[in-house]
């Protein structure tokens, strides 16, 4: 049941099946027309795009879509099954085979993600890393080469540097994406993909999406952008990127209770990933649970509101932390190297990201800060991940980036004492700031006592 009740959309599913099984040839059919295309509007507001997307009602007219929990789907006539496997009938006409292939609830979330990222299509997966690995394996046959930013989530770095070369004969050259000539020089005849993060995890380096996408096009390669740190804030496809991936576990979920991912891109690519013979999503099977799809679909409409508050607080805290004399990294601060670039790329009104970093220089000082912030003042929680309504803190070098070698961490400026903070929005801003100040004061008092203790010992 669609938002616009045309005669076609008003048919029940059995009626649709009967009509097409009887030989209606007035349709394009099959998985070749899997997803609703989304009209690209450069620099459009993602919240407006989401609000304009097709609204899926429930089976009995409920305002929320139904959860299609079935693993397999029936047909009215035996002949229909063979037509479905030939690709003549598909999800675009409400014909489904098996939920690893397409599931109605997951497909509806994909439509919403396509609207959010202004892509022709999207499909959702069991995790963010499964989205990344699936799209790379689809775009890169054995013997391919990838150019990548070294400023990546540790799991992505490990995938590129260890797993793909060992298991798939796919190699990667890591280059400084802030140097266009260096990026250009890294491309080879067999380079298929350029991959980077909009705002990098955890060093918060901002990529020039338009410039990098242009370089990739020069060499006939696809640009894959991980936009997990910047949903709503940046729309990579409007800047020239080909594919956008997300860990929906983070901001899209917002509650740290689900694991999920998404691939947003051209309809041809998404359909190829679901191909029964060669599709990475179909054959590797990182299927999203429809119950998870239902949950996330209900949270996307207020993602924009949440991102605004995450970003508003992050900017205020970063500014105040800097005034306290702390070494703060945040793209919203005017002295951040890519502040002007992000301001230029960003969709208006969403800010500069909900993550900031405090460099405490050593692991010991970083751990002490997090101890006081969690256990003494309740400013936040020591945990990995981001996008939660509570502030989450971790020392990246010894946690989410530990897969990266110490030499590589030093090369990309990842200090051993770098504390990544995903700023939440629970409680009042001033309440949380008072808790942060209290923790800093306690650390200062502790450090002042130490020399005296050493003298008396």
Structural domain boundaries of the chain?
A: 303-456
Dihedral sign for Cα atoms in the order 97, 101, 104, 105: positive
Residue 246 has a pLDDT of 98
Residue 447 has a pLDDT of 81
Rg (CA), the chain: 24
Model confidence, pTM:
0.87
pLDDT category at 326 given cuts 50, 70, 90 is very high
Task: State the Cα–Cα distance between residues 319 and 348, nearest whole angstrom.
Answer: 20
Residue 86 has a pLDDT of 86
Express each pLDDT in 212-237 by its tens digit.
999 999 999 999 999 999 999 999 99
User: May I ask the CATH architecture of the domain 303-456?
Assistant: Alpha-Beta Complex (3.90)
Peptide bond into 183 cis (omega under 30): no
Phi and psi at residue 421, in whole multiples of 5°?
-120, 120
Give the residue-averaged pLDDT of 367-389.
96
Residue 273 has a pLDDT of 96
DSSP 362: S
Dihedral sign for Cα atoms in the order 50, 54, 56, 61: positive
Q: What is the mean pLDDT of the chain?
A: 88
Helix (H) or strand (E) holding 125: strand 121-125
C-beta of residue 44 within 8 angstroms of C-beta of residue 118: yes
Express each pLDDT in 2-52 by its tens digit.
332 222 333 333 333 333 333 333 333 333 333 333 334 457 899 999 999
Those residues whose C-beta lies under 8 Å from the C-beta of residue 150, and which sit 6 or more positions away, are 157, 174, 175, 176, 408, 411, 412
Task: State the Cα–Cα distance between residues 110 and 271, nearest whole angstrom.
Answer: 12
Based on the number of CB atoms within 10 Å of its own CB, is 192 exposed (0-12), middle (13-18) or buried (19 or more)? buried
């Amino acid at each position: 049941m669609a938002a616009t009740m045309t005669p076609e959309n008003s048919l029940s599913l059995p009626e649709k099946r009967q009509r097409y099984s009887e030989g209606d040839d007035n349709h394009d059919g099959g998985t070749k027309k899997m997803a609703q295309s989304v009209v690209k509007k450069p620099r459009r507001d993602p919240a407006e795009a989401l609000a304009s997307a097709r609204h899926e009602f429930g089976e009995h007219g409920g305002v929320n879509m139904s959860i299609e929990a079935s693993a397999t789907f029936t047909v009215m006539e035996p002949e229909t099954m063979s037509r479905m496997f030939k690709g003549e009938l598909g999800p675009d006409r409400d014909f489904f085979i098996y939920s690893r292939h397409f599931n109605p609830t997951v497909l509806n979330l994909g439509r919403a993600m396509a609207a959010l990222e202004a892509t022709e299509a999207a499909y959702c997966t069991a995790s963010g890393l499964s989205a990344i690995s699936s799209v790379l394996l689809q775009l890169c046959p054995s013997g391919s080469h990838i150019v990548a930013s070294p400023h990546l989530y540790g799991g992505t770095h490990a995938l590129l540097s260890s797993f793909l070369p060992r298991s798939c004969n796919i190699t990667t050259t890591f280059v400084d994406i802030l140097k266009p000539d260096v990026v250009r020089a890294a491309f080879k005849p067999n380079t298929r993909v350029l991959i980077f993060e909009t705002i990098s995890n955890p060093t918060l380096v901002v990529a020039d999406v338009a410039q990098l996408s242009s370089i990739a096009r020069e060499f006939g390669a696809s640009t894959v952008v991980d936009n997990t740190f910047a949903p709503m804030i940046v729309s990579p496809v409007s800047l020239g990127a080909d594919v956008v991936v997300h860990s929906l576990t983070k901001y899209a979920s917002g509650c740290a209770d689900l694991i999920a991912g998404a691939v947003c891109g051209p309809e041809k690519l998404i359909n190829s990933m679901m191909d029964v013979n060669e599709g990475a999503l179909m054959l590797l099977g990182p299927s999203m649970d429809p119950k998870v799809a239902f949950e996330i679909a209900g949270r996307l409409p207020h993602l924009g509101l949440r991102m605004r508050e995450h970003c508003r607080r992050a900017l205020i805290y970063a500014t105040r932390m800097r005034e306290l004399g702390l070494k703060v990294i945040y793209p919203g601060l005017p002295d951040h190297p890519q502040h002007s670039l992000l301001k230029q790329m960003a969709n208006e009104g969403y800010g500069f990201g909900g993550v900031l970093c405090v460099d405490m220089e050593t692991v010991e000082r970083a751990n002490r800060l997090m101890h006081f912030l969690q256990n003494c003042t309740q400013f936040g929680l020591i945990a990995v991940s981001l996008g939660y309504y509570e502030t989450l803190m971790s020392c990246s070098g010894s946690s989410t980036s530990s897969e990266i070698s110490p030499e590589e961490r030093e090369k990309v400026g990842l200090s051993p004492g770098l504390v990544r903070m995903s700023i939440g929005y629970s409680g009042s801003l001033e309440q949380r700031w008072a808790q942060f100040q209290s923790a800093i004061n306690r650390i200062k008092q502790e450090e002042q006592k130490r020399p005296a203790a050493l003298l008396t010992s």
